[in-house]
Amino acid sequence: MFTNDIKDRVLTGMIWSSAVLTMAFLAWILFYIVSNGLAYVDWSFITDNYTRTGDEEGIWPMIVATLYMVLLSIAIAAPVGIMTAIYMTEYARPGSKIVKLVRFCTEALAGIPSIVYGLFGMTFFVVALGLGFSVLSGGLTLAILILPVIIRTTEEAIIAVPISYREASFGLGASRLYTIRRVILPAAMPGIVTSLILSIGRIVGESAPVFLTAGMVARIPESVFDSGRTLTVHLYMLTTELYTQHDWNMAFATATVLVLVVLGINLTTKFISNKFSKATY
């Protein structure tokens, strides 16, 4: 009994300290970035344009390009991914050849290093399809990159919907499509939104596949066929030229904004998802 008690305490201690360690790392990284960068984030830093000569050092074009990239990639990948997941879980026979094939493909896609996507995007979208270095090329490339995440997490969210809801709905003579639309998707919505949040984080965080396909022109893209530089690519560019303290400050300021943007996106999507699940009540 005594030894069991000690084992219990040691294990509990380890679990606690692991949790605390995880939070501590997050807090440390956030504090490090924000404390070094926040002082240089002011209104003009956010709203100014950027010129290579150093006359203007704002990041407004990068913020806009990042938002374009997120909207475009999600707009392409979310419908495809969610519909694939619905097909895999609600329509296809479990264990059928097509399910196995699609699963193999998504798993293979998920394992490819992101720079390979960049290379593919550059040769296919930029060159072969003639879309050039553009937000569209970047968005398409990132859409493929996030597709496996969306499919997998949406599938899991749909599978987690209790079978009793399906029975109840079919038992009332409702069609498959109506059941999916009114019962299954609303119940799976928090999971689906989570998958979209993960994907947005991925889009905002990627650099290599973005500058290989969307280029790195630091001005506001006029259309989806225009090149654009996302915040992450901008940060990467800044860190290749760190000569003075001022360069460091600008890099940290950009990183601070990047972190805050991701945080903002997360909170907004959570808010929307709450609205979504309440809307069905």
d(CA 192, CA 162): 16
What phi, psi does 50 have (nearest 5°)? Answer: -125, 130
Q: Is 281 in the site for another protein (CB under 8 A)?
A: yes
What b/e readout covers 48-72, taking b as 16+ CB neighbours within 10 angstroms?
bebeeeeeebbbbbbbbbbbbbbeb
Binding segment for another protein (CB under 8 A), chosen from 119-127, 164-172, 228-236, 237-245, is 164-172
By CB neighbour count within 10 A (0-12 exposed, 13-18 middle, 19+ buried), where does 38 fall? Answer: middle
- Taking CB under 8 A as the rule, does residue 97 contact another protein? no
Residue nearer to another protein on the CB measure, 20 or 168: 168
Which residues 6+ apart lie within 8 Å of 154 measured at CB? 81, 82, 85, 86, 188, 191, 192, 195
Of the pair 3, 164, the CB lying nearest another protein is at 164
Count of residues binding another protein (CB under 8 A)? 22
273 binds another protein (CB under 8 A): no
With respect to another protein, which residue has the nearer C-beta, 166 or 219? 166
Closest CB to another protein among residues 94, 130: 94
**The only residue of 38, 64, 99, 174 in contact with another protein, by rule CB under 8 A:** 174
CB of 178 to another protein, least distance (A): 5
For position 167 contacting another protein by CB under 8 A, the verdict is yes
Identify the residue whose tokens are 């947005």: 200
Per DSSP, the chain holds a count of helices (H) and strands (E) of 12, 0
Q: For residue 183, state whether it binds another protein (rule: CB under 8 A).
A: yes
> Could you say which of 129, 168, 242, 272 contacts another protein (CB under 8 A)?
168
**Chain length of the chain:** 281
Q: How far apart are CA 101 and CA 87, in angstroms?
A: 13
Q: Which of 41, 80, 92, 187 binds another protein (CB under 8 A)?
A: 187
C-beta neighbour count of 258 within 10 angstroms:
23
Q: Please list, in sequence order, all residues whose beta carbon lies within 8 angstroms of the beta carbon of residue 33, skipping any fewer than 6 positions away.
A: 252, 255, 256, 259
Q: Is the dihedral of CA 118, 200, 131, 216 positive or negative?
A: negative
The binder of another protein chosen from 175, 239, 268, 274 (CB under 8 A)? 175
- Pick out residues in 76-95 that bind another protein (CB under 8 A): 93-94
Instruction: Check: CB of residue 84 under 8 Å from CB of residue 249.
Output: no
Contact region for another protein (CB under 8 A) — 138-146, 183-191, 215-223, 254-262? 183-191
Q: Which of 25, 31, 178, 271 binds another protein (CB under 8 A)?
A: 178
Q: Please report whether residue 170 would count as binding another protein according to CB under 8 A.
A: yes
Minimum separation from the CB atom of position 189 to another protein (A): 11
- Residue 84 beta carbon to another protein: minimum distance, rounded to whole angstroms: 21
**Cβ-based burial of 235 (10 A; exposed 0-12, middle 13-18, buried ≥19):** buried
User: Is 12 near another protein (CB under 8 A)?
Assistant: no
Footprint of another protein on this chain (CB under 8 A)? 93-94, 162, 164-175, 178, 182-183, 186-187, 280-281
